[in-house]
RNA sequence: GGCCCCGUCGUCUAGCGGCCUAGGACGCAGCCCUCUCAAGGCUGAGAUCGCGGGUUCGAAUCCCGCCGGGGCUACCA
């Protein structure tokens, strides 16, 4: 009888919500949905120094925006409350005490400086560093501040990674590591496996940076007598364009808020993220969420890190924009052009939709509607053509089709081509070299305003 | 330094011993459409499969070494 799948993400609220969190969350959700399992959100706020509640809110917000909703979490509760590690401190302390009682962990009174000296010494002697176990064999009696160190049993650690297969680590190479900090907070290495066990997590899906951490956590799981998770999956990292690891400092694309601000559709970002490191084995590029959940499998996850590529994201986002209905696109455009009324936005959608790879670009096409462009100086011949445009437009119904027809007639009579005729009109109306097709450009502007802008250049 | 993961067009990738003169997508170039910009259509350039050895009748695919990148080795997660 198979127990139902339970997966989790455990982000740290130490800064803005970032891309890696979204990516990991996505793979967890995809797996959970496919297996009919449960997706848990746990807040890993054991770094008292750097955690901030507002960052936690940012995580909720970003994940909700992406549609990656969780079944259990600090905000909605669940059978394994609480879901914030800072509220589970008693559990970690109890378990650490149990390990100490069992002789599987011990108090370490070494100061950071002393440990640093040990490490340096090892480096000088060109030998791999392992904690000296000074506090295990010969603890000082005159100190009171301590951390708790796990007594690493050594041996070989085996586990299954759903992406890479059977993994094997030599734990004799791992030194005794700290599980409880001197501030009585657990380290990640400790809190994570304790909570995974307590919350009955069956599959641990996380970034590749945790692959080497797995033996640490498995030793703890064994020492505590917990059941091991069924399997792990370590997802390839998302790299910056230059192939380096993404850093918050140098790579703004890490910040999830940025995507919303620029007008990337959450479903497009999800689609892109799914394709970064995974492929369906078919030529399909655009997926609904359900299609992703259905097609997803760890066997088809890439083993190497993948570089983030704006161009591909832009293309996918453009595809999604073009697939939206007129009304839906108008609705999503609203926050980007608050200067415009709904009716105007709605009328701008048809010519706009093929011209954006992100929603914020609408501003470049539409800002002439609320910004008065400078009045250019026209030569005599151009002025003559503008006058003829004014004449024909004055009696034309203010609709794109009618305007187009009227203008084409004026063009034919002018003896010059459309390009020569329309370019100055575009310049006068928008002040730009690029705009929506001229008849839309005109139609979106109130007729009197459009005629005024034209008229004042020829007066 | 030690341990672990990884290495196919610029990028994301297909490939799991012969179907590969290495396929697709993004991007790029040209042409068509066209009032600008897009979108769309059509064509095209682009990878000696990191390098060097093996194994094999035959290797991008298997093995070894090297090089390169990344991760872990924290009282950060």
Q: From the CA of A455 to the C1' of B32: give the distance in Å.
A: 38
What percent of chain A is modeled with pLDDT above 90?
A: 94
Residues A423-432, mean pLDDT to the nearest whole number:
97
The closest nt to A420, taking CA to C1', is B35
Q: From the CA of A439 to the C1' of B35: give the distance in Å.
A: 10
* Residue A132 near residue A114 (C-beta atoms within 8 A): no
pLDDT of residue A2: 62
Vertex A446: Cα angle to A440 and A449 (nearest 5): 110
For A144-167, how does the pLDDT look when each residue is reduced to its tens digit (9 = 90+)? 999 999 999 999 999 999 999 999
For A168-195, how does the pLDDT look when each residue is reduced to its tens digit (9 = 90+)? 999 999 999 999 999 999 999 999 999 9
Bases of chain B below 7 A from a protein C-beta are 1-8, 10-16, 24-27, 34-40, 69-77
Confidence of residue A74 (pLDDT cuts 50, 70, 90): very high
For A363-406, how does the pLDDT look when each residue is reduced to its tens digit (9 = 90+)? 999 999 999 999 999 999 999 999 999 999 999 999 999 999 99
The SS3 of residue A446 is coil
For CA atoms A340, A341, A345, A347, give the dihedral sign.
negative
User: Structure tokens of A244?
Assistant: 């380096």
Stretch (H or E) spanning A425: helix A418-430
* Residue A196 near residue A220 (C-beta atoms within 8 A): no
The closest nt to A165, taking CA to C1', is B5
The SS3 of residue A157 is strand
Q: How far apart are CA A293 and CA A7, in angstroms?
A: 15
For A93-134, how does the pLDDT look when each residue is reduced to its tens digit (9 = 90+)? 999 999 999 999 999 999 999 999 999 999 888 888 999 999
Q: From the CA of A303 to the C1' of B51: give the distance in Å.
A: 21
Q: From the CA of A75 to the C1' of B43: give the distance in Å.
A: 56
Name the one residue in this structure whose structure tokens are 């914020």.
A360
Vertex A72: Cα angle to A68 and A78 (nearest 5): 165
Q: From the CA of A441 to the C1' of B29: give the distance in Å.
A: 31
| Residue among A146, A156, A358 nearest A269 (CA) | A358
Residues A333-361, mean pLDDT to the nearest whole number:
98
Question: Which residues fall within 8 angstroms of residue A182, CB to CB, at 6 or more apart?
Answer: A145, A146, A147
Name the one residue in this structure whose structure tokens are 């005794």.
A176
The size of chain A, in residues, is 459
* Residue A106 near residue A151 (C-beta atoms within 8 A): yes
* B1: residue with closest CA to C1': A126
* B11: residue with closest CA to C1': A309
The closest nt to A111, taking CA to C1', is B75
The closest nt to A208, taking CA to C1', is B71
Please return the burial class of A134, using the count of CB atoms within 10 Å of its CB with bins 0-12, 13-18 and 19+: middle
| Residue among A101, A102, A92 nearest A178 (CA) | A92
Please return the burial class of A377, using the count of CB atoms within 10 Å of its CB with bins 0-12, 13-18 and 19+: exposed
Whole-structure pTM value: 0.96
For A227-265, how does the pLDDT look when each residue is reduced to its tens digit (9 = 90+)? 999 999 999 999 998 888 888 888 889 999 999 999 999
Residues A42-66, mean pLDDT to the nearest whole number:
95
Q: What is the secondary structure of A264-294 as a DSSP string?
A: --HHHHHHHHHHSSB--SSS-----HHHHHH
Q: How far apart are CA A127 and CA A144, in angstroms?
A: 31
Residue A1 confidence (pLDDT) above 60:
no
| Residue among A418, A417, A415 nearest A404 (CA) | A418
The closest nt to A170, taking CA to C1', is B3
* Residue A178 near residue A147 (C-beta atoms within 8 A): yes
Q: From the CA of A281 to the C1' of B14: give the distance in Å.
A: 7
Query: Residue A159 forms beta bridges with which residues?
Result: A167
- What are the C-alpha distances in Å from A428 to residues A29, A57, A369, A444? 52, 47, 12, 15
Quick one: DSSP state of residue A107?
E
Torsion angle in degrees (nearest 10) through CA of A187, A190, A192, A193: 170
Residues of A classed as catalytic: 248
* Residue A61 near residue A28 (C-beta atoms within 8 A): no
């Amino acid at each position: 009888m198979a127990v139902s799948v339970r997966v989790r993400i455990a982000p740290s609220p130490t800064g803005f919500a970032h891309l890696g969190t979204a990516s990991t969350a996505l793979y967890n959700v995809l797996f959970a949905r496919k297996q009919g399992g449960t997706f848990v959100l746990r807040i890993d706020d054991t770094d008292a120094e750097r955690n901030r509640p507002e960052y936690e809110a940012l995580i909720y917000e970003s994940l909700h925006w992406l549609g990656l909703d969780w079944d259990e979490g600090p905000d909605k509760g669940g059978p394994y409350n609480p879901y914030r590690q800072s509220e589970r401190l008693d559990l970690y302390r109890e378990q650490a005490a149990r390990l100490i009682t069992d002789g599987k962990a011990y108090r370490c009174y070494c100061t950071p400086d002393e440990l640093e000296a040990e490490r340096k010494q090892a480096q000088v002697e060109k030998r791999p560093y392992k904690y000296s176990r000074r506090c295990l064999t010969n603890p000082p009696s005159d100190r009171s501040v301590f951390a708790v160190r796990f007594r690493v049993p050594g041996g070989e650690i085996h586990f299954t990674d759903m992406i890479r297969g059977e993994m094997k680590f030599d734990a004799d190479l791992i030194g005794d590591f700290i599980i409880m900090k001197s501030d009585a907070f657990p380290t990640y290495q400790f809190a994570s496996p304790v909570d995974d066990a307590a919350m009955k997590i069956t599959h641990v899906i996380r970034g590749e940076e945790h692959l080497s951490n797995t033996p640490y956590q498995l030793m703890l799981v064994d020492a505590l007598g917990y059941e091991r998770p069924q399997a792990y999956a370590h997802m390839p990292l998302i790299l910056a364009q230059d192939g380096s690891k993404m850093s918050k400092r140098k790579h703004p694309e890490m910040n999830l808020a940025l995507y919303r601000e620029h007008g990337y559709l959450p479903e497009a970002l999800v689609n892109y993220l799914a394709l970064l490191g995974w492929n369906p084995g078919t030529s399909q590029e655009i997926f609904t969420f359900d299609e992703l959940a259905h097609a997803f499998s760890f066997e088809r996850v890439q083993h190497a890190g993948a570089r983030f590529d704006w161009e591909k994201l832009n293309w996918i986002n453009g595809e999604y924009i073009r697939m939206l209905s007129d009304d839906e696109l108008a609705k999503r455009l609203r926050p980007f052009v608050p200067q415009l009324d709904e009716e105007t936005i709605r009328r701008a959608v048809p010519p706009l939709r093929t011209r954006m790879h992100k929603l914020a670009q609408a501003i470049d096409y539409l800002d002439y509607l609320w910004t008065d462009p400078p009045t250019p100086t026209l030569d005599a011949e151009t002025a003559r053509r503008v006058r003829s445009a004014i004449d024909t437009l004055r009696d034309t119904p203010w609709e794109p089709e009618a305007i187009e027809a009227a203008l084409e007639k004026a063009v034919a009579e002018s003896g010059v081509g459309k390009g020569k005729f329309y370019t100055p009109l575009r310049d006068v109306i928008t002040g730009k070299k690029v705009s929506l097709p001229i008849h839309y450009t005109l139609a979106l502007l109130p007729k009197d305003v459009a005629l005024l802008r034209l008229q004042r250049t020829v007066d």
